[in-house]
Amino acid sequence: MTDHSGAADRLSRMIRIPTVSAEIEERGSAPFEAFVELLEELYPNVHRRLARERITELGLLFHWRGADSDSDPVVLMAHYDVVPVDASDAWTHPPFEGRIADGFVHGRGALDDKGPLLVILEAVETLLLEGFAPARDVYLSFGGNEETFGDAARTIAETFSARGITPWLVLDEGGAVVDAPLPFVRGQAAMVGVGEKGAMTLRLSARGDGGHASAPPPLTAVTRVARAVARLRPRTFPTSTPRGVSRMLERLVPSTHGPARLLYRLLAARPRLTARLFAWMGGEPAAMIRTTIAATMLEGGTAANVLPSRASATINLRIALGETVASTVQRVRRRVADRAIRIDVVDGEDPSPESSTENAQFGIIADAVRTSHPGASAVPYVMLAATDSRHFHRFAPAVYRFAPLAMSSELRATIHGVDERVAVGELERGIRFHRSLLQRLPARQLP
């Protein structure tokens, strides 16, 4: 029988299984199969009462039939793979030990994304034990290769589309409950991603004459690539404030006081002013209002005294809402302004459309937040990173990104970093959120 007091122990057991998708070729699939078997042990009612499909080797799709199966269903998403750990990093507790100490569950995946996965399953398991049935069908979609941009979630979404199933609501990881999300804002806010930027990888490459480095030509393959990278500065792309950012500022007005309240009202009404201010602030605010560009890998050369005949740079871009892969490549090409530089799209996806904050779906999320975190209000924002939910936004009208856990700025920095951990008390609140959301689902479409 599942009880909330044991949620920390169950998460600890999940963390002990090193489901590192980037190392699957080295470790093999055994950790992933062990994780699937562990879920069967920990959540027997979920596996008895819900139909489970294996979609690709790493995708799990559970189907919970509701009272009204004619209504469009809800999809709750999470992923169970994690990023690697750098052996040189000094963790307070071993990253795959799942140590429970000082009120936290420690380890890789505690926040991203085994903790959020656990609170979904805990909520469903306990509701099943109480004899509850949702008003409409609910699907649980869990992928095992989100961190490597794998095909599990994409294939699950394609399966929905092929079956003619249009989800009424999709909810994946993303924002969290945070303190003071922007300057001059007081109190907690539940940051709900209503859209996410696109992601693209470009490779810039050039060829040149090889030879001895003692008599180099004016432009080598390396210097051409270096010059191209240097031209791709932050101001390569224009600024523009997405509607989601204006809505975020509007929702934060009640959490400000004095002159700050006037400022936030002004910014909410003046998107061009917001874009200029956020660009000046830099960091995350700047990333909300323009496409970002970062050189992440450089290649070329075989010896210190030999001119390479080929050099390349890998560029990671996060495409702002309103732009496309095609328009981004065109702007990069113009900025580089060198026909000798070859530009190849390694991979790329357009940004998502923005989901509404004036519909029943967002309202249910906001109500569930009030149940789990009474001091927080639901605030929309635009996600900078990519989630598996991006595979649904092409055909699902309401896609949101939110993990119902409170995270300080220090805790958020541990995601993909050192000393990742989640507060035991937040697991209880996350379970409360999902129970509330599932209990509030309407049977029929609301206008």
pLDDT at 216: 87
Give the other-Cβ count within 10 Å of 304's Cβ. Answer: 6
Percent of the chain with pLDDT over 90: 90
Q: Which domains does the chain have, with CATH numbers?
A: 4-195+353-439 (3.40.630.10), 198-349 (3.30.70.360)
pLDDT bucket at 4, cuts 50 / 70 / 90? low
Residue 2 has what pLDDT? 46
Q: Which helix (H) or strand (E) holds 334?
A: helix 325-336
Interatomic CA distance for residues 85 and 418, integer angstroms? 8
Report helix angle 243-252 to 271-281, nearest 10.
90
Integer angstrom CA distances of residue 424 from 6, 22, 406? 10, 28, 11
**pLDDT at residue 1 in the model:** 39
Other Cβ atoms less than 10 A from the Cβ of 188: the count is 20
Cα angle at 345 between 339 and 348, to 5 degrees?
A: 145
What interhelical angle do 7-15 and 30-42 show, nearest 10?
A: 170
Mean pLDDT is lowest, of 45-49, 60-64, 114-118, 211-215, for 211-215
pLDDT of residue 369: 98
> Quick one: pLDDT band at residue 445, thresholds 50, 70, 90?
low
* Residue labelled with tokens 């994946």: 172
187: pLDDT strictly greater than 90 = yes
pTM beyond 0.85: yes
3-state secondary structure of 203: strand
Q: What number is the average pLDDT over the span 246-269?
A: 95
Residue identified by tokens 């793979």 is 81
pLDDT tens for residues 381-424?
A: 999 988 999 999 889 999 999 999 999 999 999 999 999 999 99
For position 5, what pLDDT does the model report? Answer: 62
Check residue 323 and report its DSSP letter.
Answer: B
Fill in the DSSP letter of residue 304: T
Task: Flag whether pLDDT at 370 surpasses 60.
Answer: yes
Task: Write out pLDDT tens, residues 291-322.
Answer: 999 999 999 988 999 999 999 999 999 999 99
Mean pLDDT computed over 115-131: 98
* Closest by CA position to 167, among listed 354, 350, 399, 438: 399
Q: Are 145 and 83 in contact (CB under 8 A)?
A: no
165-179 pLDDT, tens digit each: 999 999 999 999 999
pLDDT at 100: 97
Task: Find tokens 């995601």 and name the residue.
Answer: 415
pLDDT score, position 211: 82
Query: CA nearest 205: which of 190, 182, 222?
Result: 222
Which residue would you say has higher pLDDT here, 353 or 1? 353
The predicted structure's pLDDT at residue 209: 85
